Amino acid sequence: MAKIKVLIIDDSALIRALLTEIINQTNDLEVIGTARDPLIAREKIRALNPDVITLDIEMPRMDGIEFLEKLMRLHPLPVLMISTHTEQGSAATLRALELGAVDFIAKPKVDIQNKLETYANLITEKIRTAALANVRPLHGASLKKPTIKPQNLIQLNALTLKSSAKKINLETLIVIGASTGGTEAIKEVLIDMPADSPPILVVQHMPEGFTKSYAARLNSLCNIAVYEAMHGEPLRAGHAYLAPGGYHLSVIAAGKQFICQISQDDLVNHHRPSVDVLFNSVAKLTKCNVIGVLLTGMGKDGAVGLKKLHDLGAKTYAQDEASCVVFGMPKEAIACGAIDEVLPIDEIAGSILMHLGKYLA
């Protein structure tokens, strides 16, 4: 079986050497070249035809973001960003994901020898996932705050004007899980939700240091308020709560309210946050209408929890294969009978709103 060919683009000779050593120790991956800047990388891409690129953000002559945008317009390839944990680095990473990068990983530190095995396993798994990704050419995307689409205005009016709207907002929860490719997929769903939608809880597999910037980015684009969930926080209509990186998010009932719970309990399905932790907690709630959504991502996290919700009467959705970056998590949920509807990402929000309209009849 042919090895996955990797091109490393980074201005640090030390990082290039470390990544080369990590990747070449595997049986299925191979570094076919390195480049210290995007201009050199451009020629090596043409000559070597890599399967996956690892790309640094801060480099001389042309930064990684500018290079990525040109690459995804002219010669789209699976790209794994090598990012820093700084605020500036996390913002640039989110921009890279918007432009079509498959995933990202924090830049290794020079003193990671005691954690090298863990880092090596993480980066090689991300490269394998990137090699399977459904990469699309970049056609340009508007980053302006959107207006609600006409079909959603109908639902917004119904949710606002009907006397039963309060019941919808207080007794209905929408829960969403995603992994690889999920940052853009989640945005696609949340951007269409009206300002008085039921509380939404979101788990996106992300490390610490990046979810705060991601939530702020979503908040600037959406009609609902989006931010990191806080422990003990009551859920409110018109708000979306994002699991903080490195923490599980769950929900409990406290009287007539639903409350966020944040924890650093053990990894579940190799993840923290885990989609199954959220879905399983919601399955324990009574007198709650639930809408469960599983979006693009590698692995099976969320499938078991969504099946539990489905069997309890929840309305459940999966993103379809054609619009997924990686069709792993939705595929697992479909296979175990957890899904009512499989839809393209741009149709999920509208279907959720139509489903909510049933409660308003």
Identify which of 213, 193, 192, 215 has the alpha carbon closest to the alpha carbon of residue 202.
215
DSSP-derived secondary structure for 189-243:
HHTTS-TTPPPEEEEE---TTTHHHHHHHHHHH-SSEEEE--TTPBP-TTEEEEP
Measured between alpha carbons, how far is residue 74 from residues 67, 69, 160, 260 in Å?
11, 9, 45, 44
- Residues 229, 250: Cα–Cα separation, whole Å: 10
CB atoms within 10 A of CB 190: 23
Q: Does the annotation mark 220 as catalytic?
A: no
Q: Does the annotation mark 205 as catalytic?
A: yes
**C-beta of residue 31 within 8 angstroms of C-beta of residue 20:** yes
Residue entry with tokens 């120790």:
25
From the candidates 51, 103, 301, 320, which is the catalytic residue?
301
CA angle, 138 as apex, 244 and 103 as ends, to 5°?
30
From the candidates 205, 239, 248, 271, which is the catalytic residue?
205
- Residues 21, 15: Cα–Cα separation, whole Å: 10
**C-beta of residue 81 within 8 angstroms of C-beta of residue 104:** yes
Measured between alpha carbons, how far is residue 218 from residues 144, 146, 206, 226 in Å?
11, 11, 15, 6
**C-beta of residue 209 within 8 angstroms of C-beta of residue 326:** no
**C-beta of residue 314 within 8 angstroms of C-beta of residue 290:** yes
Q: Does the annotation mark 301 as catalytic?
A: yes
From the candidates 90, 179, 197, 281, which is the catalytic residue?
179
CB atoms within 10 A of CB 49: 12
Could you give the residue numbers annotated as active site?
A: 179, 205, 301
